[in-house]
Amino acid sequence: MSPVFYLVSAMTVAGALAAVLLKPLVHCALAVTVAFAGLAFLFLSLDAQFAGFAQILVYIGAVAILIVFAILLTKGSELPRDGVFSRSWLAGVVISAAVFAALGWAILRSAWTLPHETAVPAVTVHDIGVALVDRYVLPLEIVALLLTAATIGAVIVAMHEKEGVK
């Protein structure tokens, strides 16, 4: 593996850890943006240019901004007095450590049977566009409908309640 992979992986994991562990919510939002950027670089290092740039546009451009908006609208920038971790934090840590141990064991046990194609896939954005309107046209339409419904639904859910109406 190249040093670039180790560098980008370290950046991704450090960003994700910081997002989970830091106390001020705004710092968490910044750290998770670093993790999203690291994942986008990992996509690019896997020769998936389209997915990498879609990741940058959607996650760093939209989701991170949305998270910052939600933090500021809910006064989340103020630190709570009774700590940021839940009462049952130990169980959560144990469960996620167990999940990582199981996944890591499965990956390491099957590492030598995993497929390993060395040839760089000759796939251009043109091919992806043709596939989207040809073979994957029905999923594309469903995702378009889902995005429309989700956006309208989010606006309706977050819309200001009328006085006296609950």
Partner 1 sequence: MTPLASYLLVAALVFAIGLAGALVRRNAILVLIGIELMLNAANLNFIAFWRYGPHPEALTGMMFAIFSIAVAAAEAAVGLGLVISIYRHAQTTDLDKMNRMKG
Out of 4, 7, 121, 141, point to the residue binding partner 1 (CB under 8 A): 121
Instruction: For residues 25 and 76, give the distance between their C-alpha atoms in angstroms, rounded to a whole number.
Output: 6
> Least distance to partner 1 from the beta carbon of 141, Å?
12
Dihedral sign for Cα atoms in the order 56, 62, 67, 68: positive
Out of 27, 30, 48, 60, point to the residue binding partner 1 (CB under 8 A): 48
Q: Count residues contacting partner 1 (CB under 8 A)?
A: 86
Q: Name residue, tokens 């992806």.
A: 128
Out of 4, 7, 137, 153, point to the residue binding partner 1 (CB under 8 A): 153
Check residue 19 for interaction with partner 1 (CB under 8 A): yes
Helix (H, G, I), strand (E, B) or coil at 163: coil
* b/e code 93-121 from CB counts within 10 Å (16+ = b): eeeeeeeeeeeeeeeeeeeeeeeeeeeee
* CB distance 42 to 9 below 8 Å: yes
> Least distance to partner 1 from the beta carbon of 8, Å?
9
Check residue 41 for interaction with partner 1 (CB under 8 A): no
> Least distance to partner 1 from the beta carbon of 103, Å?
4
Dihedral sign for Cα atoms in the order 126, 127, 133, 136: negative
- Which C-beta is closer to partner 1: that of 73 or that of 164? 73
Q: List the interface residues with partner 1, window 87-106 (CB under 8 A).
A: 87-89, 91-93, 95-97, 99-100, 103-104
Q: List the interface residues with partner 1, window 63-82 (CB under 8 A).
A: 63, 66-67, 69-71, 73-76, 80
